[in-house]
Amino acid sequence: MLINENRLSLADSKSQQFLKEELENFFFGVEYKSRLLISKKAHLILPTHKLLDAASEMAKGKNKIGSTLKGIGPTYMDKTGRNGLRVGDILSPNFESKYRALVEKHKSILSHYEDFSYSLEELEKAWFEGINTIKTLEFVDSEVYLDEAIKNGKKVLAEGAQGTMLDIDFGTYPFVTSSNTITAGTCTGLGVPPTKIGNVIGIFKAYCTRVGSGPFPTELFDQDGVDMGKKAVNLVPPLEDLEGVVGLIWFNYVTLL
């Protein structure tokens, strides 16, 4: 996410919000509360989403996907199952009862995983502190907000997250993320129609990287690959960052999307 003293930033409906740690660690003293808006339709990652993520990965054994264990996959499962909690729900008088109902559902699922133990109390304490942080920000309907901004001649820059080959539909499935990372995701994430999209800028690195499992035909197994991997930072959890040379076949493919 981009934070600039002269710009407003909007976290869209595909941004699972667990912001307290991110806001404290990554904005380096920049005042963000008057510049950061949150879509009411953004889904909340519950502590039990993270537990479900970890339990699922453990159960897969050597066939695990290599999840970041942030709970994103289980959050999207609740979203598509129409069970999820959204930022707008925080304003509801029965928010906590909604939260408890979803947590009980998750605990029931977790009970089916053998040899998986957890302590929810500390995770919940940190989560509700995060909710209090989110409450200090302004909630908006992103589709209405951006429509008005565009009509008023404002410039809008949509920043994508993750690479094209991690797209849930067009990436290296099943070794992908849970959302659409291609440019079309801008429309469904922000509520902006395709007719309003102007220039699209693609970023292509001079080398390839991959975190977790999945196909990596151009991976470097020599010392160059090892040295490049050591320079990787901010991986959460600390997963092995694999390095490789540019895959021109993939380059040709992603430009189609």
Indicate the angle between helix axes 120-134 and 47-60, nearest 10 degrees: 130
H or E, element range at 148: helix 142-151
Helices and strands in the chain: count of H runs, count of E runs: 9, 5
Query: Rounded CA gap, 44 and 64, in Å?
Result: 24
- pLDDT tens digits, residue range 102-116? 999 999 999 999 989
202, amino acid identity: G
- pLDDT tens digits, residue range 207-243? 777 777 778 777 778 887 777 777 665 554 444 555 5
**Domain residue spans in the chain?**
1-160, 208-254
Beta-carbon contacts of 93 under 8 Å, excluding residues fewer than 6 positions away, are none
Q: Which fold has domain 1-160?
A: Adenylosuccinate Synthetase, subunit A; domain 2 (1.10.300)
- pLDDT tens digits, residue range 22-34? 666 656 667 777 7
46 three-class SS: coil
H or E, element range at 36: strand 36-39
- pLDDT tens digits, residue range 37-60? 889 999 999 999 999 999 999 998
Q: How far does the chain reach from its first CA to its final CA, in angstroms?
A: 22
pTM for this prediction: 0.83
**pLDDT at residue 238 in the model:** 47
- pLDDT tens digits, residue range 164-177? 888 999 998 988 88
Query: Rounded CA gap, 245 and 204, in Å?
Result: 12
As a whole number, mean pLDDT of residues 236-251 equals 60
